Chain A
Amino acid sequence: MNDTEFQEYLRGLGLKVESAQDSDSTPYTVIRNITISGGSLAGHTCDVAIACCPSQPYVAAAAVHTRPALLPMGTRNTQASKLGPNWQYWSRRLDRPPTPQRLWTHILTVLTEV
């Protein structure tokens, strides 16, 4: 897996995918306008960013970033994001072999398990 495959997979699902950089110039994949389908945040819409993998082989970042912040900052393993003041860093681990489908499922799980 690589970032291009992930982005193509997301576009194949009909999602709007963009790019962004944080304050360290780290590139991110940004998925726009995700509506959360379950959990206490059901019905909220947010953008989600995942840091691109700078290495080979691919290792998924251990965090997802949301815009806007959906939780009080500092709760539930969240903190400020280097992407900017509108963003929130969620420390969330993915410890399975990375595939585009698995990474997308991971994002949805993170958003709905709150």
Chain B
Amino acid sequence: MNTYDLAALSAFELSAVMTADLDSQLRRHFDKGPRQEDLTFAIWRPSSSTLRYTAVLGELLLPSSSDRILNGNAAFTGDYFSRVLAAVPDGAGIAFLHSHLKPGWQGMSYNDTVAERDRLAAAVAGRTGLPLLGLTWGTDGAWSARFWARTAPFKYERLDAAVVRVAGPDRLTLTFHPQLRPPPKVSAAQVATASVWGERAQEDLARVRVGIVGLGSVGSVVADALSRMGVSDLLFLDHDIIEERNLDRTLHAVPEDARVGTPKVAVAERGTTTSHTARDFRVRALPVSLLTDEGLAAALDCDVIICCVDRPWPRAILNAMAYAHLIPVIDGGIMTRVTPEGRPLNIDWRIHTVGPGRACMYCLGALLRSDVALDRDGMLDDPDYIRGLKPEDRERYNRRNVFAFSLAVAAHENLQLAGMIAGSSRIGGVGPQHYSAYPGEMTVSETTTCEPDCEIAALTATAVGLEVRPPVAGRAP
């Protein structure tokens, strides 16, 4: 079976995603006034996960003036399309993008259908092994997308995407298919929440799929808060179980959970199933590590991920995923230092969002590459290795925490999510946040970008496969 066959594609929810930079380039290209449409081709790469098949749009193959005919409508020439077929690299697909003169999710005219189904779909599938992706731009900036699936030799059928995402430094813009993902009505339980950022933002928040990786002290609170805010589509990922030492800081966990070893995701599922305010609430609770094929594939299903793990290796994977697959990751961390006598010395925490147009965890100084290597290679579980470290290095791996610290981090992670979806920096702030408990001050940086030679920024929109090796023998994945 080929990727472009109906049986293969129809098994997935379909989506497309691009960076805000690409969206801006397209906006400039399409802006021809109120009576003129335009078109272009682009390259995309597949990002396949458990539930979803996503086209990650990459570089544009813009037309020259002789490559298309503009007479109100727009038509491409055969020479232009031939040039596109020759230019597409191995493993990549071809997208055909054009503008309409109306706002919102766009339907297709007869001419649109003929162009995509009859002129392009078969040639693109034959050349690339991937389905043709069609996208239409509305005057309000909304994107609509569809894939063309082969149903029989030379016959192609349109499969609409459920959502198109534009990931930028200030906002994750979502255009949902009005029938496949219709907006839920704001419920009576959400009136106060929706009154802060408006019904439109609430509708997007309700439909965005949020993954929470790590359901411990921070993640359990994030999950509960999201469910109360009206987020209705949640993924929980954590392989760990509740132990007695977790009871001081895991929301909804009770002594019985420690006694029987309830998975942390099950505790969060139990809590959110009773606390959510959405009419149609879905939670997928997977008791597996991100560092497994199943965990990675599930994370790639998400529109946004909130990283609530403190281990460097899974954080590095999420850091790469944010750029390669254009899934913004909201990350936070708590650091507590005590004196040799055991008194508080420094307590701080930081919250930041990483993804296209923003500095990655490495460039923010929130994650060290060498810590990632040590965690990956099992050294952070070797007590002899930890004992041999310099004190300042050893301090980075301490697990001191208090529930109230986690509440604060979780609150700001949720606010950064709400601000990103609502497109308002007045909710989540303008950039990375750093709180120092003494004297009690939150400092905020303007959104920064990666260093010029950062290997993570170089992954942007590549949809490169993320690989994790099997866990070290004797160590949980």
User: Is A104's beta carbon under 8 Å from chain B?
Assistant: no
Q: Please give the distance in Å from B179's CB to the nearest CB on chain A.
A: 38
B31 within 8 A of A: no
One of B1-9, B199-207, B450-458 contacting the partner: B450-458
A55 interface residue per 8 A CB criterion: yes
Q: How long is the Cα–Cα vector from A55 to B464 in the complex, in angstroms?
A: 12
- Whether B467 pairs with A59 at a CB distance below 8 angstroms is no
Which of A55, A77, A93 touches B368 (beta carbons < 8 Å)?
A93
Query: Shortest Cβ distance from B383 into chain A, in angstroms?
Result: 13
Contacts of A35-88 to chain B: CB distance below 8 A: 51, 54-62, 77, 79
Question: A93 near B370 (CB under 8 angstroms)?
Answer: yes
| Interface bin, chain B | 20 to 34
Known: A56-B464, A56-B465, A94-B369. A62 touches B320 (CB 8 A): no
Q: Given known contacts A95-B368, A97-B453, A97-B455, is B374 in contact with A62 (CB within 8 Å)?
A: yes
Question: Taking the complex as formed, is A24 at the interface, i.e. its CB lies under 8 A from any CB of chain B?
Answer: yes
Can you spell out 23 A-B residue pairs with CB atoms less than 8 angstroms apart? A24-B473, A51-B377, A56-B466, A57-B456, A57-B459, A59-B316, A59-B372, A59-B376, A60-B369, A60-B370, A60-B373, A61-B373, A62-B370, A62-B371, A62-B373, A62-B377, A62-B379, A79-B388, A91-B385, A95-B368, A95-B369, A97-B454, A98-B455
Q: Are A77 and B388 in contact (CB under 8 A)?
A: yes
Q: Is A55 a contact of B468 with CB atoms below 8 Å? A: yes
By a beta-carbon cutoff of 8 Å, the part of chain B in contact with chain A is 316, 320, 362, 368-374, 376-377, 379, 384-385, 388, 451, 453-456, 459, 464-469, 472-473
Q: Across the interface, which residues of A come within 8 angstroms of B316, CB to CB? A: 59
Whole-angstrom distance between the alpha carbons of A56 and B459 in the complex? 11
List, in ascending order, chain B residues with CB within 8 A of A94's CB.
369-370
Query: For residue B472, which residues in chain A have a CB less than 8 angstroms away from its CB?
Result: 24
Q: Does A1 count as interface, using CB distance less than 8 angstroms? A: yes
